[in-house]
């Protein structure tokens, strides 16, 4: 999917709870999968895994929540999770792109499988809640957690996009 989309590359070497994963490794193209929900929701939780093969050289979004099923840009973006230069995670809402609401203090390690969990409880007036954390693999102990109760999202969410969602250089990264 996406503007200038390219074929997804399958990675069978770094799977988590399945046999397939996508590799986002193109410096010039979008590479993501999109899940359209059957109906709009105001409370959603998502878990995904990623395996970073190298240090992050630029900022790009791993996960985005939208109030539409089309690639309509930031006006319909409720929020998401971004990996930023310096190998950190950043959570953003519809108003704080790219500054973010929360940035991890710990640096992500290369050649490590991470699990990110995020819950979004929508509110377009500054009282949405975005909470979750990230873990090493299937550990039950989080590396870090976050909870922001002053987020601004769209009023609901109708699709979730996972993968490389910017036309920016990045290092190879496997998404589950």
Per residue in 148-160, pLDDT (tens digit) is 999 999 999 999 9
- Which of 40-44, 56-60, 126-130, 171-175 comes out lowest in average pLDDT? 171-175
Q: Where is pLDDT greater, at 166 or 4? A: 166
Site of tokens 């590359």: 9
pLDDT of residue 62: 85
Q: What DSSP string runs through 141-160?
A: S-SEEEEEEEE---S-EEEE
49-99: per-residue pLDDT in tens? 888 777 766 777 888 898 988 766 677 889 999 888 888 999 999 988 777
Q: Where is pLDDT greater, at 58 or 164? A: 58
Question: What are the backbone angles phi and psi of residue 74, rounded to the nearest 5°?
Answer: -70, -20
pLDDT of residue 130: 96
pLDDT band at 4 (very low <50, low <70, confident <90, very high): very low
Q: Residue 138 above 80 pLDDT?
A: yes
Distance in Å from the first CA to the final CA of the chain: 16
């Amino acid at each position: 999917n996406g503007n200038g989309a390219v074929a997804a590359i399958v990675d069978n070497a770094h799977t988590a709870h399945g046999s397939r994963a996508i590799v986002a490794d193109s410096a010039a193209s979008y590479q993501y999968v999109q899940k359209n929900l059957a109906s709009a929701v105001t409370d959603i939780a998502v878990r995904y895994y990623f395996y970073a093969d190298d240090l992050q050289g630029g900022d790009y979004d791993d996960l985005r929540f939208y109030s539409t099923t089309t690639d309509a840009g930031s006006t319909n973006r409720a929020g998401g999770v971004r990996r930023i230069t310096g190998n950190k995670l950043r959570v953003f809402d519809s108003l704080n792109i790219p500054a973010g609401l929360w940035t991890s203090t710990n640096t992500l390690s290369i050649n490590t499988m991470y699990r990110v969990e995020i819950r979004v409880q929508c509110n377009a007036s500054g009282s949405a809640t975005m909470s979750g954390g990230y873990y090493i693999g299937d550990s039950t102990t989080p590396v870090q957690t976050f909870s922001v109760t002053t987020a601004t999202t769209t009023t609901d969410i109708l699709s979730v996009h996972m993968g490389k969602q910017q036309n920016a250089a990045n290092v190879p990264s496997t998404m589950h």
